[in-house]
Structure 1
Amino acid sequence: MPTSLGVATSPEHDLYDEAAFRRLDFTDIDLGGQAADAVEFEECGLRRVSLAGVALERARFTDCLVEGSDWANLRAAKSDMQRVRLAAVRLTGVHWLGGVLRDVTFSECRMDMATLRFTSFKDVAFVGCNLTRADFTNADLRGAQFTDCDLSGAQFTQADCAGTRFIRCELAGIGGAASLRGATIGAADLVALTYALAAALDITIEES
């Protein structure tokens, strides 16, 4: 992302259909509750920016850095991110449906109860994220890696996890464990996963 950016202001840079924001620094701006189709953010910095409760369709984020922002309950349909880094972003309850994430890093983000159904992940890294009860139903996770993440109660039903990597993650109580076929899981994480796999295979575990 470029080091020299123009300064975004509100309401001049509020969301509207087919808006194209390029090389802008969005800092301490509240865009919460707005709605727009086909919005583009290219080479932008978004620091402490609220997209809480925003409704987007066919949005695109390219070559952006997002830091310390509140995107809770953002609803984005058929939207894309490419070469984006999100650090310490609140994404609780976000709905990112039928989208594409390519070369994206989520670092220390809160993503509990996030819904990422039918989304494709390519070269995507989750590092130190809270993903409790996140929903990856029917997602293509073949290009995803999870490191030091809490995935307790997350849902993976019908997800494609061939090649997905889980490193030092909490996997207790996950749903759709059978869909983890082809994934790579750290040995230390297998104990928590045992009960989910047993339930998926209708195996009864007796305590000795």
Structure 2
Amino acid sequence: MDIIGADPEVGEDYGDAVLAGQRWEGRSFLRCDFTEADLRGLVTSNCTFTECKFDRTDLGDSSHTATAFRSCRFDRAVLASAAFRSCTLLGSVFAECGLRGVVLEETDLTLVGLSGALLRRASLRGLRLREANVEGADLRDADLRDADLTGARLRAGKFDGADLRGARLSADALVAADLRGARVDTGTAIAFAAAHGLRVD
């Protein structure tokens, strides 16, 4: 079923709603509550969610294209095999979410909260993670090539086996992060050494 929206929906309560398999195009939601809703297989295109709650929401196998999730909260949401393509998740926070198999392509993760997230082997290549919080996140064996991590908080993150070639990292991140076992290019290695007070001749 295709649902094409017009006026924004403000403060609507979709808690416990069963909306699995629906198709939404151009809909706009402001401060709506999707707590424990069943959104499995939901397909969205050019939708906007602002300050919405997705606590314990099932978004497994959902697909989102050119959709914006701005300052939304995903607390223990299920995102297994969900796909976000050409989306923005600006300022959204993910807490204790199931992220296994999530697809993120050409998606903006600026200011996103991913503290403690399980992103092992995740493909984050070329994504914008500026000022994102990935403290304590498991990024082992993740593909972070050409990702923009400028200003990102990386303390206590696990990067063993992660590919950071071409990634942009600020000096503060290079000091705070434990990059042992990560794969980096020469430029990052030199910047890492400089950030730790080493002289490279």
TM range (shorter): 0.7 to 0.9
Q: Judging changes above 3 Å, is the alpha-carbon distance between structure 1 residues 206 and 182 closer, same or farther for their aligned structure 2 residues?
A: closer
Name the structure where strand makes up a greater proportion of residues: 1
Q: Judging changes above 3 Å, is the alpha-carbon distance between structure 1 residues 131 and 172 closer, same or farther for their aligned structure 2 residues?
A: same
Deviation for aligned residue 1:145:
1.8
- After superposition, the CA RMSD in angstroms is 2.4
Quote the residue 1:3 is aligned against: none
Quote the residue 2:184 is aligned against: 185
Confirm or deny: 8 A CA contact 2:95 2:115 kept in the other structure.
Answer: yes
Deviation for aligned residue 1:93:
0.9
Confirm or deny: 8 A CA contact 2:68 2:87 kept in the other structure.
Answer: yes
Quote the residue 1:85 is aligned against: 83
What percentage of residue pairs aligned between the two structures are identical? Answer: 18
Normalised to the residue count of structure 1, the TM-score between the two structures is: 0.82
Quote the residue 2:113 is aligned against: 115
Q: 2:41 aligns with which of 22, 40, 43?
A: 43
Normalised to the residue count of structure 2, the TM-score between the two structures is: 0.84
Deviation for aligned residue 1:142:
2.3
The secondary structure found in structure 1 opposite 2:192 is helix
Confirm or deny: 8 A CA contact 1:155 1:176 kept in the other structure.
Answer: no
Kindly provide the CA deviation profile for residues 35-54 of structure 1, in whole angstroms up to 9, marking residues without a partner as x: 23212322221111111211
Confirm or deny: 8 A CA contact 1:103 1:123 kept in the other structure.
Answer: no
Q: 1:8 aligns with which of 3, 12, 19?
A: 3
Deviation for aligned residue 1:147:
2.7
For 2:183, the aligned partner's letter is T
The secondary structure found in structure 2 opposite 1:81 is coil
Map 1:190-201 onto structure 2 (within 5 A).
190-196=189-195, 198=196
Deviation for aligned residue 1:189:
3.3
* 2:167 is the alignment partner of 1:169: yes
In 1, distance between residues paired with 2:175 and 2:18? 39
In 2, distance between residues paired with 1:147 and 1:88? 18
* 2:96 is the alignment partner of 1:98: yes
Quote the residue 2:138 is aligned against: 140
In 2, distance between residues paired with 1:162 and 1:207? 24
For 2:2, the aligned partner's letter is V
The secondary structure found in structure 1 opposite 2:29 is coil
Confirm or deny: 8 A CA contact 2:37 2:58 kept in the other structure.
Answer: yes
Q: 1:76 aligns with which of 74, 80, 83?
A: 74
In 2, distance between residues paired with 1:175 and 1:134? 14
Confirm or deny: 8 A CA contact 1:170 1:192 kept in the other structure.
Answer: no
Confirm or deny: 8 A CA contact 1:17 1:39 kept in the other structure.
Answer: yes
Quote the residue 1:201 is aligned against: none
Q: Judging changes above 3 Å, is the alpha-carbon distance between structure 1 residues 103 and 32 closer, same or farther for their aligned structure 2 residues?
A: same
Deviation for aligned residue 1:96:
0.8
